[in-house]
Structure 1
Amino acid sequence: GIAHDFNNILSAIIGYSELAMTHVTPDTRLERNLGQVLKASMRAKELVQQILTLTRQSEQQFEPLELGPIVKEALRFLRASLPTTIEIRQEISAGSHMVSSNATQIHQILMNLCTNAAHSMREKGGVIEVGLGDVDLAAEDVLRMPDLKPGPCVKLSVRDTGHGVDSSVIERIFDPYFTTKAPGEGTGLGLAVVQGIIKSQGGCVTVSSELGKGTVFHVFLPAITSPTKHEEQAVEPPGRGKERILFVDDEAILAELGKEALESLGYSVVAMTSSMEALAAFHDHPEKFDLVITDQTMPDMTGLVLAQKLLKIRPDIPIILCTGYSQQVTKEHTSETGIREFLMKPLILRDLARVVRRLLD
């Protein structure tokens, strides 16, 4: 499906960016630019996982977050996409309370609100003001916000100097598929998604507007006690080795990427784009390989079926199954068939190297 294809595209972007990073001089503009490519790609990776989670109606995983760095990062991305006639001002309070949230969802909230703000000023330009700070809500403050409880909150505000919104429209502004934009300019889902995300985190969003002067959205999220900060552990370099690996992926660019990435760590790699040819090669020389890495969704024979056939030939061969998305294959299912590891695309070189080294050791 679309998720599988998109994850394959991300695999190539992330993988080749990681390889390029190993060849650049530290503290250069090129390294910083590649870092931004990787950061944006990781956001896209998280967004795909969020979409898949929503379609499976599973619960999102939340973690303690400080919103300041996330808001600043989102505004940097936003600045690059907006015309110079729109100014972005930010007032981010240092040391704001933490919230239990999801970084990708916060990014999505802010991008939706700011994109709507920019749309209202696209003809004459104007100013988007983004504020972040702490508030302590009393009982009377939450009377009009039933989703919130009194107590400390983090308040995120997005204000624009656009044309404003009529009061009749304000009443329906969060309704799914309701939009005042022209056909082809919007689906009417943006603000409905924003409200859904905020409610799922125990928060609330309010809106007020005045025709000819602009609109302001206030997002309130319950604050949490800051967790004890642990010392950051040093990032270990990817594990290296000299073992022989069979890498199978029907996407030629990903097969080539896997070969180059693993060979950069010292491994000897045979990359193949046909599961049938990979089976034949393994059948002829089963002792030639120390490990197999295979994609799941491939023509002629899926990775799961390939793995089962390989294990019949040589039951002790370690196999890693990778997939961009598959409803039929889960980590539990693969372990029952004798597959040692199950990894979701897009693959991160450091994670793949760690798993490979663990299985071979």
Structure 2
Amino acid sequence: MGLLEEKGKHFAVRQAGFTQDIDELKKYYERQVKKLRDQVQNVNAVNRKIIHSIPLPLLILDETLTVVKANNAYLNTVNKKKNEVVGLRITQVFPEGLFPEHNLLTKIREVLASGRTLCLTNIQDKSSGHAVRYMHVTFVRIGRTENDELIVFFEDITEHMNLQLQLQQAQKVETIETLAAGIAHHFNNILMGIQGHASIMLMSMDANDPFCKRLKKIEEGVEKGADLTQKLLGFAKEREFDPVLIELNNLLLKSVAIFGGVRRGIKIDTNLQENMPMLLVDPCQIEEVLLNIFINAWHAMPNGGTLHLETSTLLAHKTGSSDLGLRPGEYVKLSITDTGVGMDPETQHRIFEPFFTTRKIGEGTGLGLAAAYGIIENHKGTIRVFSKLGEGTTFHIYLPVTKESEQPEPKLSDMIIRGSGTVLLVDDEDLIRDLSAETLGLLGYTVLKAKDGIEGVSLYQQNKESIDLVILDLVMPNMEGNEVFRRIRAINPDAKVLLASGASMNGDAKELIKKGASGFLQKPYGIKAVSHKIAQIMKEG
């Protein structure tokens, strides 16, 4: 019994020690579990801070493609609370049609299965009902198996895309400007041939001749063709200025009277600032801008509406006007607002493109607003458009105020002025060269003709003592007009050179004027225009 008791006692003692060991072990593991839980909580807290500190909108999806987490950037972007987003399926998160070129679910399952990253760029989100937003969406698997979570990043690249679209638009416009200038140059040469022959025939024809009326009709057709090329040159920023000092309100009211007389059903109200500063502009060109915008507004109000016109002054500082592209200085601002149907963002982006029109075929050329844009830019101004569907459209035009020292060139009378002397005519177009020579002969001048720049320089070298004036075409093969000018001036630094071109006063012409060229003739020019120019140059000695 003693042994048993001893054994029992010993057993009891050992049993008690074992129980104590288990209790200690239990407490130890409880402490470890608590420590691990705290660590997990800390990690989760850190993860939440990281997720919510990420500036890009972010979602975390489980293996069933259900949202389990959304960061603050995402909630702020969609303007929703956490409980409104968590629990949504992926098909509920993305608006229908957001991924028109991708099978979204198939792509996401490929990400889960392979672990590869999926990037979808330039996604157009039209769900807002207003401006198109461009998105860059990235899907990344967090773990190593397809049962792990998926993280989705959203990046709004709308501003970047808009800048890219503006760059593409600028490049497209630059290309079309070059094309328009080239077309206008060649077309003006053709028109000049028609105009010149008609004018010469009219000079030698009795006013009662039955063909006189037909010739005048031909001249009218030439004028319409020249007007079209002037629009092209206006768009291409190569249109010649005929500037005069004007007060914008007077020109605006004149244009309103013309428009209002033929477009009934449109109410026009004005809010015009008094004592407006003067502008040095080509009134015909500015009037064309105004009428084009008025007509655009009329088409936007098929059932009638209101056209509101407002003028004011604006002082552009070195900073604060960069978004308008204005140089520092004082400007006159004209706002033209209609109550029409308005425009969507895509139409606004293209509104100044040449040949772009929302009208039916045959109802518009698409050149009106493109020409208006070129004219305003050529006047060192700016034009902007703001519109919303159903809320009308506003055009803002900014034109620089004229400095007191700036004065327009005086105009000559309309009478034909005859003269004498020897003129060297350099033009590669046979029709223009022969016609111009005949015209100059009728005005009393002796004419030497050169078919290109090389022959022109040679003839000048041979006859430099007798040549009083050179009429020089700027665009020619073999030798360009600017090189011909340079070589003639090398022979005679005082040589009088009158420039001519079917294009307009572009960079080359302006540079040659600065270097001493005597003037510029815009083709197609009539007998009156050339007689005035030559008389003016000869008078200046």
TM over 0.5: yes
Q: Is the 8 A contact 1:239 1:357 kept in 2?
A: no
Instruction: Report how far residue 50 of structure 1 moved.
Output: 6.2
Greater RCO structure (CA 8 Å; 6+ sep) = 1
Matching residue within 258, 265, 274 for 2:443: 265
Which residue pairs with 2:479 in the alignment?
Answer: 301
1-side partners of 2:449 and 2:382: how far apart?
A: 48
Question: Counterpart of 1:51?
Answer: 236
Candidates 413, 423, 427, aligned match of 1:249? 427
SS in structure 2 opposite 1:247? Answer: strand
- Inter-partner Cα distance in structure 2 for 1:252 and 1:128: 54
Find the aligned partners of 1:358 and 1:221 in 2 and give their Cα distance: 39
* Mapped contact 1:244–1:269 kept (Cα < 8 A): yes
Q: Which residue of 2 aligns with 1:289?
A: 467
Letter in 1 for 2:233: V
Is contact 1:240-1:357 (8 Å) kept? no
Corresponding position of 1:139: none
1:64 paired to 2:246 = yes
AA partner of residue 246 (structure 2): P
SS in 1 for 2:476: coil
| Whole-angstrom distance in 2 between the partners of 1:129 and 1:31 | 40
1:174 aligns with 2:348: yes
Per the alignment, do residues 325 and 4 of structure 1 end up closer, same or farther by CA in structure 2, a change over 3 Å counting?
Answer: farther
Alpha-carbon displacement from aligned partner over 1:108-160 (angstroms, at most 9, x marks no partner): 35425634753x68xxx655765657799xxxxxxxxx98xxxx976544455
Paired with 1:279 and 1:180, the residues of 2 have a C-alpha distance of 47
Distance verdict in 2 for CA 1:241–1:344, change over 3 Å: closer
Q: Is the 8 A contact 2:423 2:445 kept in 1?
A: yes
The aligned residue for residue 83 of structure 1 is: none
CA–CA distance in 2 between the matches of 1:155 and 1:79?
Answer: 21
Aligned counterparts of 1:218 and 1:293: Cα–Cα separation in 2? 42
| Cα offset, 1:240, TM superposition | 2.5
Residue aligning to 1:343: 520
- What per-residue deviation string (whole Å, max 9, x for no partner) do you get for residues 258-296 of structure 1? 324433432222333333333444455444532221112
- The one-character-per-residue Cα deviations of 1:300-327 (angstroms, maximum 9, x if unpaired) are 2222333444455556543333343697
Evaluate the alpha carbon distance shift between residue 133 and residue 190 of structure 1 in structure 2; reply closer, same or farther with a 3 A threshold.
closer
Q: Is the 8 A contact 1:238 1:354 kept in 2?
A: no
Deviations 1:214-273 (A, max 9, x none): 845465879989x9xx9xx88434543111111111123332343244334322223333
Q: Judging changes above 3 Å, is the alpha-carbon distance between structure 1 residues 276 and 183 closer, same or farther for their aligned structure 2 residues?
A: same
Cα displacement (A) at 1:96: 8.6
The DSSP-based 3-state class of the residue aligned with 1:174 is helix
Helix, strand or coil at the partner of 1:114: helix
Please tell me whether the aligned partners of residues 132 and 156 of structure 1 are also in contact (alpha carbons under 8 angstroms). Answer: yes
- Is the Cα–Cα contact under 8 Å of residues 342 and 387 in structure 2 kept in the other structure? no
Count how many residue pairs are aligned between Structure 1 and Structure 2.
316
Give 3-state SS (helix, strand or coil) of 2:424's partner: strand
Number of the residue aligned with 1:140: none
Distance of 2:255 and 2:221 partners within structure 1: 10
* Alpha-carbon distance in structure 1 between the residues aligned to 2:532 and 2:231: 16
Deviations 1:157-208 (A, max 9, x none): 4455xxx358xx3x66634579995999999x959x869959x758876546
2:446 is the counterpart of 1:276:
no
Alignment of structure 1 residues 209-224 onto 2, 5 Å: 210=390, 215=392, 217=394
Residues 289 and 312 (structure 1), Cα distance of their counterparts in 2 relative to 1, 3 Å cut: same
Q: Which structure has more helix as a fraction of its residues?
A: 2
Structure 1 residue aligned with 2:508: 329
Given that 2:437 and 2:449 are in contact with CA atoms closer than 8 Å, whether structure 1 keeps it comes out as yes
Q: 1:327 to 1:13 in 2, by over 3 A?
A: closer
Who is 2:141 aligned against? none
2:508 aligned partner, one-letter code: V
2:539 to 350, 358, 361: 358
Identical-pair percentage: 16
The alpha-carbon distance between structure 1 residues 172 and 117, as it changes in their structure 2 partners (threshold 3 A), is farther
Partner SS, residue 500 of structure 2: strand
Q: CA RMSD in A?
A: 6.0
Change (3 A) 1:279 1:7: same
Residue pair 1:92, 1:131 contacting (<8 A) in 2 also: yes
Which ranges of structure 2 fall in alignment gaps of 5 or more residues? 1-177, 208-212, 314-322, 325-331
SS at match of 2:236: helix
- Amino acid paired to 2:522: K
Which structure 2 residues correspond to residues 91-240 of structure 1 after superposition, within 5 A?
91=268, 100=279, 102=281, 104-105=285-286, 107-108=288-289, 110-112=291-293, 114-115=295-296, 118=299, 126-127=303-304, 132=309, 156-160=336-340, 164-165=341-342, 169=344, 174-176=348-350, 181=358, 207=387, 210=390, 215=392, 217=394, 235-236=412-413, 237-240=415-418
- The residue matched to 1:343 in structure 2 has which SS? strand
Contact 1:207 1:215 in 2 (8 A): yes
For residues 133 and 113 of structure 1, do their structure 2 counterparts lie closer, same or farther at Cα, with a shift above 3 Å needed? closer
* Secondary structure class of the residue paired with 2:498: strand
